[in-house]
Amino acid sequence: MRTIDWNKESKTIMMIDQTLLPKEYRVIECATLSSLCEAIKTLRVRGAPALGAAGGFGVALAATLSSAIAMDGLIKDMNVAARTIKATRPTAVNLAWGVDRVMHAISDAYDVDGIRDIAISEAVRIAEEDVLINKKIGLYGAKLLDDGDTVMTHCNAGRLACVDWGTALGVIRSAVETGKEIKVIACETRPLNQGSRITTWELMQDNIPVTLITDSMSGHVMRERMVDKVIVGADRITEDVVFNKIGTYTHSVIAKEHEIPFYVAAPISTFDFKGWEGSVRIELRKPDELRFFGNEQLAPSDVPVYNPAFDVTPMENITAIITERGVFHPPFLLDEVLA
Amino acid sequence: MRTIDWNKESKTIMMIDQTLLPKEYRVIECATLSSLCEAIKTLRVRGAPALGAAGGFGVALAATLSSAIAMDGLIKDMNVAARTIKATRPTAVNLAWGVDRVMHAISDAYDVDGIRDIAISEAVRIAEEDVLINKKIGLYGAKLLDDGDTVMTHCNAGRLACVDWGTALGVIRSAVETGKEIKVIACETRPLNQGSRITTWELMQDNIPVTLITDSMSGHVMRERMVDKVIVGADRITEDVVFNKIGTYTHSVIAKEHEIPFYVAAPISTFDFKGWEGSVRIELRKPDELRFFGNEQLAPSDVPVYNPAFDVTPMENITAIITERGVFHPPFLLDEVLA
């Protein structure tokens, strides 16, 4: 089962409910627009590429559900749905991108059946393309891993952040597929523990050996030579830096200190060719993420907290960036990618 | 109330149950050796100096509880207790030191009452001396801090790690006492969150400004120049390295990268003059510490976990070690300390 998929028979959206992991694996069906929007809002589906697919499937679902018999009525219904879906996570660029791509595709249709067919096929294409991109990233990245390697990763740049396969974890999957024995060390990734909750679960499903550590142990495991390579994903890549989940920069400094290769795996869509470190404001998240975990209290309920969502890793700490167009080595990154 | 103390009336050990903080402040009584050992194992009492006192009080408690009427029987009972207490936290050098100091002191006794009296008075002396030592560490260390400094710390090397005042936090308290304005950044210290649960609570009690971060943010806050100095405690100091709470080494590498002074504050009793890195086995703690937090599940219940309690920071990463005998700069540490 993919992270998110279109059910051809029932014409509904199927997804893995990620809020229940690792305790429970449950596939849920979104047969209405409101159930899809609820799933996006509550992070049952998350991760930039997966949200792109969710946006596309959402508009296709709206087209299917609409009772309109004329083209303008159907397009009107779909436009309302498009706005509703985008509003669920207004900062998620990929969600809006997926919605807009399907809305753009239907302009080729000449009747309501055509609109419905194109909406579905374009949404499916978004999902298919995402898998293909990840497989290509995997193909290039797998060559960087050696048989017997132990690879450390942070957060979840895996199948469940995408439609399938994953970026950082996709590289590991591809290496395993070619017969290499790869072990993974997963950092738990405080404060939301995507590493311990999702990355470990994903890898255990695939029988790829994984060991969980706290984020603070990265220094110790690298000093003890327990790590051969580090691979992480990326939220945004500018010419000078990589923005990724908080903790990435710390791991990159430790890797540099121990001369351990530090790789970033990400699709070209992650590149922000106009941006630079200073042009991006780092999102500060709620203090309660550090004060509580579920019902458990971790700190005084009124303690001041600094909770940036991501940090900034300069290119000098990065050995290479693995994309679907190949492996790029700083500092000539953007020139090469654009070539 | 001190972190740990001897109750003269009931001849029992009183301690603040640190596992309940910050939710609840509760003083518990250990009237049996097994309740003390349970308290040490489950970290109701923790921190090197506090464990020194716990070791001393534990042997005194064993002497009090023993029904032996002859000296050799009493000493035998105390020796059994000494081994049992030491085995609760084998890496904690202070625990064994406290035990041994009381066992050594009783050799002056000439009857069973004398043994019991000496055991208690020597254990009480350990606790008293610890407070005095911390005040001296504070006095020396405070000179290293400047008015307006923001100091990052890891774990809890505070009042609650000691009998009172604290080592790393004692330095901060002493600096504040001299009128300097000091802000603290506390790392939460996974997996047991002594930083978020105890350090923040302690400092808030004293109205010293504190901000909580995840351990993984140390790189980000140092890169952003939000930290002027780092001060941590130590569990054991050998000629080549400092053993301290897991995560310390990671912070030390980040501090070195950013040329931020990295101080260790610890009493001379923490020094292991015969030991070296390879002579100390690092305690591996239970996997469930990373799989669960209280009733909340953080990871698959069967995920393999690597959970070392301590890591190893080489002297080259340490700017100075602050002791009750003064401030020592590596690499000539032991020669100076021994002088």
Residue of B nearest to A282 (CA): B220
Determine the distance in angstroms separating the CA of A248 from the nearest CA of chain B, rounded to an integer.
8
pLDDT class of A296 with cuts at 50, 70, 90: very high
Q: Compute the distance between CA of residue A99 and CA of residue A122 in angstroms, rounded to an integer.
A: 10
Q: What angle do CA B325, B329, B335 make, to 5 degrees?
A: 70
In tens, the pLDDT along A96-115 reads: 999 999 999 999 899 999 99
Are residues A97 and A55 in contact, defined by beta-carbon separation less than 8 angstroms? yes
Looking from the CA of B114 toward its CB, the CA atoms found within 13 Å total 10
Work out the average pLDDT over A67-93.
94
C-alpha distances out from residue B182 to A183, B57, B149, B174, B211, Å: 44, 35, 5, 10, 12
Which residue in this structure is represented by tokens 């900034």?
A312
Determine the distance in angstroms separating the CA of B122 from the nearest CA of chain A, rounded to an integer.
36
pLDDT at residue A38, as a whole number: 97
Are residues B308 and A217 in contact, defined by beta-carbon separation less than 8 angstroms? yes
Spell out the CATH class of A144-338. alpha beta
In tens, the pLDDT along A229-258 reads: 999 999 889 989 999 999 999 999 999 999
pLDDT class of A332 with cuts at 50, 70, 90: low
Work out the average pLDDT over A305-314.
95
| DSSP for A96-129, written as a single string | HHHHHHHHHHGGG-SSHHHHHHHHHHHHHHHHHH
pLDDT at residue A48, as a whole number: 85
Q: Over 80: is that where the pLDDT of A331 sits?
A: no
pLDDT at residue B273, as a whole number: 83
Phi, psi of A154 (to 5 degrees): -130, 145
Select the residue from A201, A215, A216, A220 to test the B interface by mutation, using most B Cβ atoms within 10 A: A216
CATH for A4-134? 1.20.120.420
Select the residue from A192, A205, A303 to test the B interface by mutation, using most B Cβ atoms within 10 A: A303
HEC sequence for B8-68: CCCCEEEEECCCCCCCCCCEEEECCHHHHHHHHHCCCCCCHHHHHHHHHHHHHHHHHHCCC
Catalytic residue among A111, A235, A288, A302: A235
| DSSP for B173-228, written as a single string | HHHHHTT---EEEEE--TTTTHIIIIIHHHHHHTT--EEEE-GGGHHHHHHTT--S
Are residues B254 and B247 in contact, defined by beta-carbon separation less than 8 angstroms? no
B329 or A151: whose pLDDT is higher? A151
CB count in 10 Å sphere of residue A331: 12
Residue of B nearest to A248 (CA): B216
Amino acid (one-letter) located at A11: K
Amino acid (one-letter) located at A329: H
Q: Compute the distance between CA of residue A58 and CA of residue A50 in angstroms, rounded to an integer.
A: 12
Identify the CA nearest to A217 among candidates A234, A240, A195, A242. Answer: A195
Are residues A151 and A185 in contact, defined by beta-carbon separation less than 8 angstroms? yes
Q: Over 90: is that where the pLDDT of A281 sits?
A: no
pTM of the model: 0.91
* Spans of chain B, pLDDT less than 70: 332-335, 338-339
Name the DSSP class of A180: -
Share of chain A above pLDDT 90, in %: 86
Q: Which of A198-202, A302-306, A334-338, B50-54 has the lowest mean pLDDT?
A: A334-338
pLDDT at residue A143, as a whole number: 98
Closest partner residue to B196 among A185, A295, A299, by Cβ?
A299
Q: Compute the distance between CA of residue A157 and CA of residue A166 in angstroms, rounded to an integer.
A: 6
Q: Is A293 on the interface with B (CB under 8 A)?
A: yes
Determine the distance in angstroms separating the CA of A310 from the nearest CA of chain B, rounded to an integer.
9
Give helix A112-142 / helix A168-177 axis angle, nearest 10°.
70
Q: Do A303 and B214 touch (CB under 8 A)?
A: no
pLDDT at residue A84, as a whole number: 98
Select the residue from B205, B217, B282 to test the A interface by mutation, using most A Cβ atoms within 10 A: B217
pLDDT at residue B332, as a whole number: 66
Q: Is residue A235 flagged as an active site residue?
A: yes
Looking from the CA of A193 toward its CB, the CA atoms found within 13 Å total 26
Work out the average pLDDT over A299-323.
96
Q: Compute the distance between CA of residue A301 and CA of residue A320 in angstroms, rounded to an integer.
A: 42
pLDDT at residue B331, as a whole number: 76
In tens, the pLDDT along B205-250 reads: 999 999 999 999 999 999 999 999 999 999 899 989 999 999 999 9
Are residues A221 and A213 in contact, defined by beta-carbon separation less than 8 angstroms? yes
CA A202 to chain centre: 13
Work out the average pLDDT over A142-170.
97
In tens, the pLDDT along B106-137 reads: 998 999 999 999 999 999 999 999 999 999 99
Q: Is B239 on the interface with A (CB under 8 A)?
A: no
Element (H, E) at B231: strand B229-232
Q: Which of residues 40-59 of B touch A (CB under 8 A)?
A: none
Are residues A13 and A54 in contact, defined by beta-carbon separation less than 8 angstroms? yes
Domain boundaries, chain A: 4-134, 144-338
pLDDT at residue A66, as a whole number: 97
Q: Compute the distance between CA of residue B163 and CA of residue B13 in angstroms, rounded to an integer.
A: 13
Q: Compute the distance between CA of residue A94 and CA of residue A266 in angstroms, rounded to an integer.
A: 14
Q: Over 90: is that where the pLDDT of A185 sits?
A: yes
pLDDT at residue A339, as a whole number: 66
Q: Over 80: is that where the pLDDT of A307 sits?
A: yes
pLDDT class of A338 with cuts at 50, 70, 90: low
B81 CB burial (10 A radius; 0-12, 13-18, 19+): buried
What are the residue ranges of helices labelled H in chain A? 33-41, 48-65, 71-88, 93-105, 112-142, 168-177, 194, 200-205, 218-223, 248-257, 288-291, 333-338
Q: Over 80: is that where the pLDDT of A334 sits?
A: no
Task: Tell me how long chain B is.
Answer: 339
Q: Do B216 and A304 touch (CB under 8 A)?
A: no
Identify the CA nearest to A155 among candidates A167, A144, A147, A163. Answer: A167
**For the complex shown, is ipTM > 0.85?**
yes
Looking at beta carbons, which residues of chain A come within 8 Å of B197?
298-299
Amino acid (one-letter) located at A22: P
Strand partners, A30: A13
Q: Compute the distance between CA of residue A195 and CA of residue A211 in angstroms, rounded to an integer.
A: 11
Taking the CA atoms of residue B143, residue B148, residue B154 and residue B155 in that order, the dihedral angle to the nearest 10 degrees is 80
Are residues A133 and A208 in contact, defined by beta-carbon separation less than 8 angstroms? no
